[in-house]
Structure 1
Amino acid sequence: MAEQHDSIRAGAAGTAPVPLSVLDLATVGSGRTATDALRTSVELARGAERLGYHRFWVAEHHSMPGVASSSPAVILAHLAAHTERIRLGSGGVMLPNHAPLVIAEQFGTLEALAPGRIDLGLGRAPGTDGATAAALRRTDRLNEGAEDFPQQLTELTRFLDDDFPDGHPYRRIHAVPGPVQGTVAGGVQAPARPPVWLLGSSGFSARLAGVLGLPFAFAHHFSAAHTIPALDLYRESFRPSATLDEPYALIGVSALAAEDEKEARRQVLTGALSMVRLRTGRPGLIPSPEEAEAHEFSALEQEFAESWLRNVVHGTADAVRDGLDGLVKRTGADELMITGNAHGAQARLRSYELIAEAYGLPGAQD
């Protein structure tokens, strides 16, 4: 059978049923700047590494005032310079927004900067609205990008492996840094290249990841109703590959722990109000807890906020641990990637500390 990459399949630490990782959006709170948000991302990545989390990923979003992660590769290079062991990756890069060669070059560069620590997670959604996607891609044929995703993925993989067949128009084009550097006179072959993950919130990427034998990450944090059907489809479609012998499914989950239930509710309400504003065409910065508490929710806004909060695991550390354990049992996930969105850096870092302590992660007792 195919060899499993240690970079994908990792053993659980402490008492956690599966490895725990972190997803960061570099959120910008009201009264804060993008500089503040990116400094917080560094603080969170270093904290996650110290506590014993397995990965730290950042996600591509555009034209959203409250999200500063429009350029994952740039952020990951910065995080690589401030960490030593934790795996870093994209959760994800939206492939239709970019030429495959550009992504191969960016992530080849990241792999050269942080050998053996880089993951390349790919999505097929634009990570923004249609008008912004058209500006990114310089075309209004947006469906074409999604439909061409398998072809773009093949092209990207061939650039990463430098293995276009003879006669292909790209046969003499090489992504550098990359394998070609090991084939020229005096060259030394790099030991590995970033593993590719497929990301999704529906069945399309689940099936494709299964057919290709790739690891799959599902966005449970904003598509909870589709989690189990998508994971079932992934597992049913899975074919062993050079990457994996067996399916490996990661799910992203919103979770925030605080010293008491009231404080946790106070912190997650900021995310609920932010989502209300986004869904009603008024995206902005992440409101403070005080702003969220003072907001007068309409009946429709309240209904939406409560629906959204039902998919956010929050409360004391023990309550969050119980909620995450239950999610693993229901879904059979092989790894959990926690996103703890809140207004302030300290609330988010404290949440990751409390969760790490609840599970006995190796760095939580230091």
Structure 2
Amino acid sequence: MADGTDTAGGPDGIRGTARGSAPVPLSVLDLATVGSGTTASAALSTTTELARLAERRGYHRFWVAEHHSMPGVASSSPAVILGHLTARTERIRLGSGGVMLPNHAPLVVAEQFGTLEALAPGRIDLGLGRAPGTDGGTAAALRRGRTDGPDEFPSQVAELVRFLDDDYPDAHPYARIHAVPGPVQGSAEGGVQSPHRPPVWLLGSSGFSAELAARLGLPFAFANHFSAANTIPALELYRSAFRPSAVLDAPYALIGVSALAADDEREAYRQVRTGALSMVRLRTGRAGLVPTPEEAEAYPWTPMEEEVADGWLSNVVHGTPDAVRAGLDALVRRTGADELMITTNAHSAAARLRSYDLIADAYGI
């Protein structure tokens, strides 16, 4: 869809509409990856360029994810990045994939995303995760001694939704506290209520958030790109336990998938090996910048590292545009996903941008 027409359909864009010959809506997840020899400024500039490309080519959503203390990832502050992107896009939905809620006070998140909604009405998604998005020591620094953790996630979600809806009961200690911008401005004298508020999504890589999303009747995004073995069980749990709500009358499952398309198979493999080496270093306590293809080719891989890399690459759909399309279509058939969210982990900004263009071409969007 070269003209960038909005693909949103249904309440708050949750129900997307497939365009061209894509079987389901296609979206983008970006981590603002920082490559060797580049800066965070360059990485964030690429994120902006990618969001504009995604809008122009007809991708449905553009999300950024919260990570901390990782030199190769510049997306530690999703709300800040999204605020920047609201001024540089016009139609595409923007959101978090996700905000790691245990790291934040729910009121602060409600205020941040209420502000984003005011900047880009009807275009903001609030995806929530319960993991810290980092290691334990960094999580402790983020939380400043707070003892609430992942097990408190359901109550944190409930608190956040109450602030978003401004509907604490009169007897509640928070009844006179309001997330601003938010609904209270519509109920104030002379106020006008905004018709929108950011829809809440739950994100997960196991059954915990799948079950919670089902119980609350919320859309669910599963991280197939790093937890592929859990995809089918989590989706089955989500669908079987789903309870209709004011948000959704049926389950809606988005699947995150790592993919990279290039003009030929060799170049695609050359690019994805940079992401594989990044993952090896991360898993062995040596997190750093994303290496260049030349660094990955010259790296002295040990047998164990090759095994880790091969395991990671087995979940990356890569190759020519037609091969990537076939892999994505197979994932939709296998999982019954309602939407695919593609993330591309490679050193080269040009390779990442080219990949999203090629995938759009393969689907005729």
TM-score band, normalised by the shorter chain?
Answer: over 0.9
1:13 pairs, out of 19, 36, 42, with 19
Q: Secondary structure at the match of 1:254?
A: strand
Q: Deviation above 4 Å: which 4+ runs of structure 1? A: none
Post-superposition Cα deviations, 1:49-82, rounded to whole Å, max 9, x if no partner, equal 0000000000000000000000000000001111
2 CA distance for matches of 1:6 and 1:61?
Answer: 26
Contact 2:25–2:340, Cα closer than 8 Å, also in 1: yes
Contact 1:4–1:244, Cα closer than 8 Å, also in 2: no
Equivalent residue pairs, number: 357
Q: Deviation at 1:289? A: 0.5
2:306 maps to which residue?
302
1 CA distance for matches of 2:169 and 2:102?
Answer: 23
Q: Deviation at 1:344? A: 1.3
Q: Deviation at 1:7? A: 1.1
Q: Deviation at 1:24? A: 0.1
1:154 pairs, out of 145, 153, 158, with 158
1:29 pairs, out of 28, 31, 35, with 35
What is the letter of the counterpart of residue 73 of structure 1? A
TM-score w.r.t. length of structure 2: 0.97
1:163 maps to which residue?
167
Post-superposition Cα deviations, 1:9-58, rounded to whole Å, max 9, x if no partner, equal 01101101000000000000000000000000000000000000000000
Q: Deviation at 1:4? A: 5.2
- TM-align CA RMSD: 0.9
In structure 2, the CA distance between the partners of 1:208 and 1:129, relative to structure 1 (3 Å rule), is same
2:344 maps to which residue?
340
2 CA distance for matches of 1:297 and 1:113?
Answer: 47
2:212 pairs, out of 188, 208, 227, with 208
Aligned residues: percent identity?
A: 78
What is the letter of the counterpart of residue 167 of structure 1? A
Q: Deviation at 1:298? A: 0.0
Q: Secondary structure at the match of 2:137?
A: helix
What is the letter of the counterpart of residue 208 of structure 1? L
2:126 pairs, out of 109, 120, 123, with 120
What is the letter of the counterpart of residue 105 of structure 1? E
Q: 1:139-288, aligned counterparts within 5 Å? A: 139=145, 141=147, 144-288=148-292
Q: Deviation at 1:6? A: 4.6
1:50 maps to which residue?
56
Question: Structure 2, unaligned stretches of length 5 or more?
Answer: 1-8
What is the letter of the counterpart of residue 11 of structure 2? H
Q: Secondary structure at the match of 1:82?
A: coil
Question: Structure 1, unaligned stretches of length 5 or more?
Answer: 362-366
1 CA distance for matches of 2:178 and 2:215?
Answer: 27
TM-score w.r.t. length of structure 1: 0.97
- State yes or no: 1:359 paired with 2:354: no
1:137 pairs, out of 133, 143, 150, with 143
